[in-house]
Chains A and B, each alone.
Chain A
Amino acid sequence: QVHLQESGPGLVKPSETLSLTCVVSTASVDSGHNWGWIRQAPGGGLEWMGNIHNSGTANYSPSLRSRVTMSLNASKNQVTLRLTSVTASDTAIYYCATLHYDILTGYCPYWGQGTLVTVSS
């Protein structure tokens, strides 16, 4: 079982940069697991934002690629998400999750509880 806990500012002003942290327990961010970020608008569906391999290589959703950066902080055992130039449409619950993906299958077995980010002035 991998435990994940997201944290962030809660409220971000339009045009500013959103930064979120996912603290990982019982696993190392830089070995054995890969990581994904998924968001969910209030009352809405799920959107895959991107994923980062334990080597640090990241893949982003084309719709967010120009604004999103994911990274690993091995010393703090954290996965970070940075989203620039936010607008109200970025208001959502942001989840980090473990990602299992290979030539046989893909799925997200463990998820954090999520953190709500509201974009408003």
Chain B
Amino acid sequence: EVVLRQSPDTLSLSPGQKATLSCRASQSVSSNYLVWYQQKPGQAPRLLIYGASSRATGVSDRFSGSGSETDFTLTIARLEPEDSAVYFCQQFGYSVWTFGQGTKVEIK
């Protein structure tokens, strides 16, 4: 089973700053099958990025994804209060599909 480790656990930043979230895989994962979701309290996860770098429909261009093999990054530019949420990565590259444990982004 591929383990996804996200870091940091919590990120506390001010509006306008840039957030950099990491997702590291225990084995190489095809970037085609690396996904990022945003989850706000009391809501279901929302698809942000698929294929490691493709934005889902309606997602702000302040969100961008990158990476390959075992290291993937979600970057949120010019943070806004509405970006306060937990962000999860997920891999579909192996038979057992797994999620990272999440990174909580707090806006000061």
Contacts and interface: CB of A to CB of B under 8 A. Distances in A.
B68 interface: no
A15 B96 CA distance: 26
Given A45-B88, A46-B45, A107 B99 contact: no
Contacts of B44: 95, 97, 111-114
Given A61-B96, A101-B92, A109 B56 contact: yes
B46 A107 contact: no
Interface size, A (range): 20 to 34
Which of B51, B97, B100 has the most chain A CB within a 10 Å cutoff? B97
B33 A106 contact: yes
A107 B96 contact: no
A107 B47 contact: yes
Contacts, number: 60
B65 to A, nearest CB: 12
B35 interface: yes
A46 B45 CA distance: 9
Interface of B: 1, 32-33, 35, 37, 43-47, 50-51, 54, 56-57, 88, 90, 92, 95-102
Contacts of B88: 45-46
A74 interface: no
Which of A46, A111, A113 has the most chain B CB within a 10 Å cutoff? A46
A7 B43 CA distance: 16
Given A106-B92, A109-B47, A112-B44, A47 B35 contact: no
A62 interface: yes
B47 A46 contact: no
